[in-house]
Homo-oligomer: A and B are copies of this chain.
Amino acid sequence: MAAQDDMSAEERLIARYFRPLAREPGALGLGDDAAILTPPAGCDFVLTTDGVIAGVHFFADDPPETVGRKVLRMNLSDLAAKGARPAGFLISVALPASVEESWLAAFAAGLGEDALAYQCPLLGGDTDRTPGPLSVSIAALGTVPRGKMVRRSTARPSDCIVVTGTIGDAALGVLLRRDRSLAQRWRLSDAFAARLQQRYLLPQPRNALAEAVLAHASAAMDVSDGLAGDLLKLCRASSVAAEINAASVPLSDAARAAVAADPALLETVLTGGDDYEILLTVPAVRFAAFQAAAQAAGVPAAVIGVITTGSGARFLRDGEMLKFARPSYSHF
């Protein structure tokens, strides 16, 4: 074989769109079999993986620059909930032959923007053609001081239950995305309808709160499959129960307006998922310190209930227990 510049189509694509993102020296410019990550002294690595498939987790015509950002942020949200600082990520992309280069360029640009903003560099990847829908899977790594990863399984009775930000916006946003006429039925302004859809397109993971979670949470997880179902998972893992005051669950003005117009939407809000907020438990004695740290980090955090002995998660409104048809969202 003669010397020739015979890069494959895959190599060209990686060189053009993904290599510019791989600024971390250990990524070796995506030009080796593997990347190198040197552990900081005294740290554990925290590992998570999450992905999206067109038509399942996002709409094929969603803006390409949000698709890469969304899947990275889904993983960043897991790291935040564990109290971890992002260290980097690997990406696996399956592309249908129909994907335009302009789609890829926008996808990679969005991804690169977030990799910088969250200080979570691209370390490596794998790109393939697929006869199926476009899909993206990310494996992300973070660091915590050794032995300090915040788990789901360590909540204790009498701990306060706290959730960040607002709940239910993305679940309402995806309904609006599917049926734009709902905005009128829910009597939403255009701005409110747009805000809910934006929360679906682009989660706002709470990495700014990771240090406060690490310092003060007894247990934590990210809210991705619906608050009710995720809280139940935390209770099961910790062998405790939870009592929630439904009125205390923080809603955005837009979500509050929708629920006022159609009270049945409360179930969508509490079980719909895609929130990417942090659900955490904080011992009562640490709550003031946690609250100060959350304020300093600029992340809103509301107490919504208390951990008790027993099992299950009860959502109470005006003394009545809410019943949900299905407590959490599942693509299965």
Residues of A within 8 A of B (CB): 1-4, 6, 8-10, 13, 28, 31-39, 43-51, 53, 55-57, 78-79, 81-82, 84, 88, 90-92, 94, 123-126, 128-133, 135, 137, 139, 141-142, 146, 149, 151-153, 221-222, 225, 228-229, 232, 237, 241, 310-315, 321-324, 326-328, 330-332
- Across-interface contacts of A2 in B (CB, < 8 A): 312, 314, 321, 323
18 pairs, A vs B, C-beta closer than 8 Å: A1-B228, A6-B326, A6-B327, A33-B221, A34-B46, A34-B142, A35-B46, A47-B90, A49-B92, A49-B124, A50-B126, A51-B128, A51-B137, A53-B131, A56-B129, A92-B139, A132-B133, A135-B135
Nearest Cβ in chain B — how far from A153, in angstroms? 7
B34, B53, B331: the one contacting A79 at CB < 8 Å is B34
Complex copy number for this chain: 2
Is the CB–CB distance between A124 and B47 below 8 Å? yes
The CB with the most chain B CB atoms within 10 A, among A33, A51, A135, A141, is that of A33
Bound complex: CA of A259 vs CA of B130, how far in Å?
32
Chain A at the B interface: SS class? mixed
